[in-house]
């Protein structure tokens, strides 16, 4: 059962609203919906807790920057001791079109340094994750500059709808399990523009 939702992103106003911060954007939406505010954790992260069906679910914003996300996940998982399957990691994915979400229980990093850092800490690829589409990379564009760029107004509308859908998928994952959430949400088309 999912006990913690880890959103991957980069801290600081400079990165707010960028494509690479979709994990943070989802946590911000959930914390707003659940009326909880993040507080500093006992490590390199902020956290907020909400009770669903009588059990605590923790939202976690690492403050290590994307490429070292595993440091914060390690700190969160140590107390109380959390197994990889009890954590859902949410992050952006360039290989998915903007608006699409994908939930998996296992998989490689796909070149994403944030989830790669988490996999390295747990020493297993069996870490549940939700990928939020922000691609494709425009032809000739620099990948680093693209992922750290802001959405256009038109793209922002699609991204906001995706965040809403992802928030529903997180709640469904908590209540019904990852496998059922995969069946329900992985085949959904991208929200209409």
Decide the pairing of beta strands 45-52 and 39-40. antiparallel
Burial class (CB in 10 A: 0-12, 13-18, 19+), 135: middle
| Alpha-carbon gap, residue 13 to 5, rounded angstroms | 22
Contact between residue 62 and residue 44 where contact means Cβ atoms under 8 Å apart: yes
Contact between residue 57 and residue 191 where contact means Cβ atoms under 8 Å apart: no
Q: At what angle do helices 178-185 and 153-176 cross, to 10 degrees?
A: 140
| 3-state SS track over 38-97 | CEECCCCEEEEEEEECCEEEEEEEECCCHHHHHHHHHHHHHCCCCCHHHEEEEEEEEEEE
φ/ψ of 119, rounded to 5, equals -60, -40
- The gap from C-alpha 42 to its chain's centroid, in whole angstroms, comes to 21
Catalytic residue among 20, 50, 113, 176: 20
Catalytic residue list contains 50 = no
Supply the residues annotated as catalytic: 20
């Amino acid at each position: 059962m999912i006990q913690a939702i880890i959103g991957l992103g980069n801290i600081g106003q400079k990165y707010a609203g960028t494509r690479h911060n979709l994990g943070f954007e989802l946590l911000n939406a959930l914390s707003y919906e659940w009326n909880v505010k993040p507080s500093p954790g006992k490590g390199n992260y902020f956290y907020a807790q909400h009770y669903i069906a009588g059990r605590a679910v923790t939202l976690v914003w690492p403050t290590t920057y994307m490429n070292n996300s595993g440091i914060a996940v390690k700190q969160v998982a140590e107390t109380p001791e959390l197994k990889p399957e009890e954590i859902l990691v949410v992050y952006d994915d360039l290989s998915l079109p903007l608006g699409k979400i994908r939930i998996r229980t296992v998989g490689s990093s796909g070149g994403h340094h944030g989830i790669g850092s988490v996999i390295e800490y747990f020493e297993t690829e069996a870490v549940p994750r939700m990928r939020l589409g922000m691609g494709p990379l425009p032809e000739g564009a620099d990948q680093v500059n693209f992922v750290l760029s802001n959405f256009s107004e038109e793209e922002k509308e699609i991204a906001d709808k995706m965040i809403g859908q992802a928030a529903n998928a997180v709640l469904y994952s908590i209540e019904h399990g990852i496998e059922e959430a995969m069946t329900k949400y992985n085949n959904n088309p991208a929200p209409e523009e």
